[in-house]
Amino acid sequence: MRLRKLQRAEDIIALTEEVGFLPFFGNHIPGFSVEECCPRQLWFADGVDGPWEWKGPIVRSGRCAYGKFFGGKAGFVSREWLPDFANFRRNGYDFDARYDDGLASRKDKAIVDTVQEHGSLLSRELKDICNYRKGGNKGFDTVITRLQMQTYLVISDFVYRKDKFGQPYGWGVAKYATPEALFGYDFVTSAYRTEPLESRERILTHLKKILPETAEQQIVTLLKAPR
C-alpha cells in the first residue's frame, strides 16, 4: 500500500476522510500508517511541528476520532465511518447495557462514569479521581486501552506544559472524552439500528476497495475487536 506523503495536519485529516481508517503507527499492512507517510524530518525536530504535535489540532477539528483503535495502538477514524465502527466494536451495546449484562468490569465503569461526569479529563486527573496512584488501583493502561478499542472513550486533545516563555514542551498529556460528548449521542449511535456484523461487513468491504492488494485476513486483523 502506497499512500501520498503527509506534510501537514490537514493532509492527515484529508487522508483519513478518504480512507476512513488510518493507523498512526506502522502495522502488518505495509505503508498504511501516518508513521510511514510523514517525512522523517518532521518527527521531533526542534522548532518544527510534525505528526506528533498535529494530533491535537486534528482531533479538535471534529472531522475524525482518535484513540487506540487498532490492535491497542493509536489511529484515526473518519467522522463518516465512526457510527459503523462504534456499532461493530461495541457489538450494539451502550456502555451501561454492557455493564448490566456483565460484559464490563467495575473498573471500566468507574472510568467511563467519571469521564461522563466531568465531560473530559486529562489522564493524570482520571488516575487521581479513580485512585490509580501508588497503593491504589492497578491496570489503568489496560482499562483505558480496552475502552478506546471498544470506542467508549476517545482522545479529545493533548495538553502540553509550557516554559517561562509560554512555549509548549515535553510530551502532550492525553485528554479523554466519550465520542458522544464530541460528536453527539444521536450521531455516534446512528448505526445501532444495523446489526453489528453488518457494520463490520460494510467496513471490511470498504477497506478491501481501498487496499486491493492487501489480503483480507490482514484487514480483518487490523479491525479485530477486543475480547
Q: At 65, which amino acid appears? A: A
Q: What is the pLDDT of residues 110-121, one digit of tens each?
A: 999 999 999 999
Q: Is the pLDDT of residue 95 over 80?
A: yes
Average pLDDT value for the chain: 92
Residue 158 lies in a domain: yes
Residue 1 lies in a domain: no
Total number of domains in the chain: 1
All three cell numbers of 178? 466519550
User: How high is the pLDDT of residue 164?
Assistant: 65
Average pLDDT over residues 162-185: 84
Residue 110 lies in a domain: yes
User: How high is the pLDDT of residue 93?
Assistant: 95
Structural domain boundaries enclosing 29:
9-223
- Confidence tier at 1 by pLDDT (50, 70, 90): low
Please tell me the distance from the alpha carbon of residue 188 to that of residue 214, in angstroms, as a whole number.
Answer: 29
Looking up cell 454492557 gives: 98
Cβ atoms 55, 66 nearer than 8 A: yes
Residue 4 lies in a domain: no
48-57, 109-118, 140-149: the lowest-pLDDT one: 48-57
User: How high is the pLDDT of residue 58?
Assistant: 95
pTM over 0.75: yes
**What is the sign, positive or negative, of the torsion defined by CA atoms of 113, 119, 120, 125?**
negative
76-85, 133-142, 159-168: the lowest-pLDDT one: 159-168
- Under DSSP, is residue 162 helix (H, G, I), strand (E, B) or coil? strand
Residue 28 lies in a domain: yes
* Number of C-beta neighbours around residue 39 at 10 A: 12
